[in-house]
Structure 1
Amino acid sequence: MTAVIKETGFIESFDGHQIYYESRGEGKPLFLCYGVACLMNHWRHQVQYFSKNYRVITFDYRGHHQTSIPDNRDNLTFDAIAQDIKAIHDHFKLEKACFMSHSFGAQVVVRAYDMFPDLFSNLVFINGFTKNPIQKMFGGDWADIAFQLFKQGYGKIPETLQFAWKNLINNRIAMQLSAMAGGFNLSLTSFKDIEVYARGVASMDLDVFIRFFDQMMSYDGTPVLDRVTIPALIIAGGKDAVTPKHFQDLLHQKIKGSQFLMVPMGSHCTQLDLPDLVNLRIEKFLKENDF
């Protein structure tokens, strides 16, 4: 069995900021883009599977985990992340890549495609969306209202809310509630993966989280979808209450010739719930498109 080549390090982006990356395997490049406040661990099954035949690249967004917060916080934007992707791509002198995205990562990838379409060979969206997912989340407006109140509170008592954020999220009850709300399928996903996610979210700087969450709510990448001319696969979870199927339906309807997979038992993290099914379907899609 051939060992998978692994490389880690930092790459300087357009503003001098250092972006942490991990590269595994050899072959055509696959970029994996996670959701806001998420971690590379969300892709662990895909990294293990696809690095046998592809070069799999993961990286931490600005202000996420091993990529620090930039000195100029105005560079905590989708546009800046798109520039970071280009910096990684250019550093390794890569050919056109497949971009896989999960959740908020779909907005990141759509914006990057809009700015740098020549970097892209094909697209895979998992539980993705291109416009405000908070509106009507869980069937009502309360999530939107709660975020606005939280944001206002942070503006008044930032240290108190940062402390509360860290301690409320990083506990077993909060993890179980997150899963029950449709974030994970407790009968399929390892609870350790949920714990890793909770610790990652709890460790985030709240200002960074709020800035990206605000952009997630205001950005609408739907018009870009009409301009997508490369193959695309959209994957939805039948039990995803966070970003329900109508978000993925929109992606499928707007991207001409796109393929669609509904995973009935999939939560908001379908790639963690049923990795074998997801990986095989993605592999089929890549092979069909000579990638």
Structure 2
Amino acid sequence: MTSWMNKSKFLNIDESTKIQYWTNFEPVEGEKYRDVIVFNYGLVCNIRHFEYQIDFFHNKGYKILLHDYRGHYESETKEGIETITFENIISDLNTLINHLNIETTIHVGHSMGVNVTIEYAFKYPTEVKKMILISGTIFPPQDVMFDSNLVDISEPYIKEIKDKWENQFKLIWKNAYLNPLAKFMVWRGGFNTKKTNLDFVQYYMKKLGQLSPDIFFQLLDEMREQRVIKDLEQIKTPALIIGGDKDKVIPNYLQQILHKGLANSELYIIKNGSHVPQVDFPEFINERIELFLD
């Protein structure tokens, strides 16, 4: 990752919430910024899921804004986990963008970040010039993950276990990255094992362990309740939809549905790509995004 990411900044959204962010440019008072690339990561993920895109577009001279959602890592909120909603995440991000005097943006969303990006583009259509949507779904993930409703069936029981044995559950959640079997299952389930090594998976799981499991279930419910599908035809922002044809988490046909729903969209399916094709095949993904931006 580039050196400018070693030092983060913070913005107080209000008295109870502050957001951690990074920029590869130093804002100058009175100057306006256009076409800044904003990265929106997935459910209990982190900005490293975009490390190859961040480096690539930084070296190409693009201005970049990275941020952590409220309640994630050092982005704090005293209002409780129930306030970690798409509405508040989008509002926080818009406050941050206005604070930095950014007039227009290009959003890159992965997985749940696709939901964030689409909602943001719907609410602020004149600001978002283009959006790149990677491995997302407009349907409740509980109904489609792993091409079954297994998550929907098991979620209530997992929540019951979490509430009944709270301390034990949190301990297992926090230290799952130390379990070789858990790492292997995540690696096989979400990544192309020939392209992404276990070190990346371990880092992802270690970062996940820094977050409360309650955030996972809160945002999973947010995705269940989201009604973005009814707004798709109103969104005219040019979109590049990317998916991997071997995505086990979010089946590939969901990218086809999203493509049909967004009239001004292009579809790029990468062979042997997993749920994180931007990590599996960064060269191809970066080239395709650059072509779309040009």
Comparing 90-99 with 164-173, greater Cα deviation is found at 164-173
Partner of 1:262: 269
Matched, 1:240 2:247: yes
Q: Secondary structure at the match of 1:117?
A: coil
State how far apart, in whole Å, the 1-side matches of 2:69 and 2:78 are.
11
CA contact (8 A) 2:133 2:242 kept: yes
Cα distance, 1:118 vs. partner?
A: 2.7
Equivalent of 1:84, from 82, 89, 92?
92
Number of residue equivalences: 284
Aligned residue runs from structure 1 range 1-291, under 5 A: 8-14=8-14, 16-24=16-24, 28-52=35-59, 53-181=61-189, 183-287=190-294
Deviations 1:127-155 (A, max 9, x none): 11122122142233222222221112223
CA contact (8 A) 2:144 2:250 kept: no
CA contact (8 A) 2:71 2:81 kept: no
CA contact (8 A) 1:110 1:130 kept: no
CA contact (8 A) 1:70 1:76 kept: no
Deviations 1:239-268 (A, max 9, x none): 101001121111110111311100011100
Q: Secondary structure at the match of 2:102?
A: coil
State how far apart, in whole Å, the 2-side matches of 1:205 and 1:277 are.
34
Unaligned runs of 5+ in 1: none
CA contact (8 A) 2:84 2:218 kept: yes
Give the letter for the 1:20 counterpart: Q
Give the letter for the 1:196 counterpart: Y
State how far apart, in whole Å, the 1-side matches of 2:193 and 2:67 are.
27
State how far apart, in whole Å, the 1-side matches of 2:111 and 2:157 are.
23
Give the letter for the 1:73 counterpart: I
Cα distance, 1:286 vs. partner?
A: 0.2
CA contact (8 A) 2:174 2:209 kept: yes
State how far apart, in whole Å, the 2-side matches of 1:139 and 1:79 are.
28
Identity between Structure 1 and Structure 2 (%):
27
Give the letter for the 2:140 counterpart: N
CA contact (8 A) 1:24 1:57 kept: yes
- TM-score of the two chains, using structure 1 as the length reference: 0.91
- TM-score of the two chains, using structure 2 as the length reference: 0.90
